[in-house]
Amino acid sequence: MKNRYVFCSLFVIKRLARPFCLSVLLCSLLILLAACDTPFSNTSTPLNGQIKVDGSTALQPLVSKAATLFQQAHPQAHVLVSGGGSLTGLNDVTSQKVDIGDSDIYADPATYPDPNLTDHLVCVIPFTMIVNSDVTLSNLATADIVNIFAAGKITNWDQLGGPNLPIVPIVRPATSGTRATFRRYVLGRRDELSSLTVINSSQDVVTKV
User: Residue 11 — very low, low, confident or very high, per pLDDT cuts 50/70/90?
Assistant: very low
Other C-beta atoms closer than 10 Å to the C-beta of 74 total 17
Q: Between 51 and 23, whose confidence is greater?
A: 51
Tell me if the domain spanning 4-37+49-127 has CATH number 3.40.190.
Answer: yes
Cα–Cα distance for residue pair 14/39, rounded to 1 Å: 34
- Domain residue ranges of the chain, discontinuous segments joined by +: 4-37+49-127, 132-204
The fold adopted by the segment(s) 132-204 is: D-Maltodextrin-Binding Protein; domain 2 (3.40.190)
Q: What is residue 1's predicted lDDT score, i.e. its pLDDT?
A: 36
Q: Between 22 and 189, whose confidence is greater?
A: 189
| DSSP character at residue 190 | P
Burial pattern 117-134, b for ≥16 Cβ within 10 A else e, equals beeeebbebebbbbbeee
Q: Where are the beta strands (DSSP E) in 47-201?
A: 49-55, 77-84, 100-103, 117-129, 170-171, 197-198
Helix H or strand E encompassing 15: strand 4-17
pLDDT greater than 80 at residue 27: no
Q: What is residue 80's predicted lDDT score, i.e. its pLDDT?
A: 95
- pTM for this structure? 0.70
Q: Do domains 4-37+49-127 and 132-204 have the same CATH topology?
A: yes
pLDDT tens digit string along 141-157?
999 999 999 999 999 99
Q: Between 72 and 42, whose confidence is greater?
A: 72
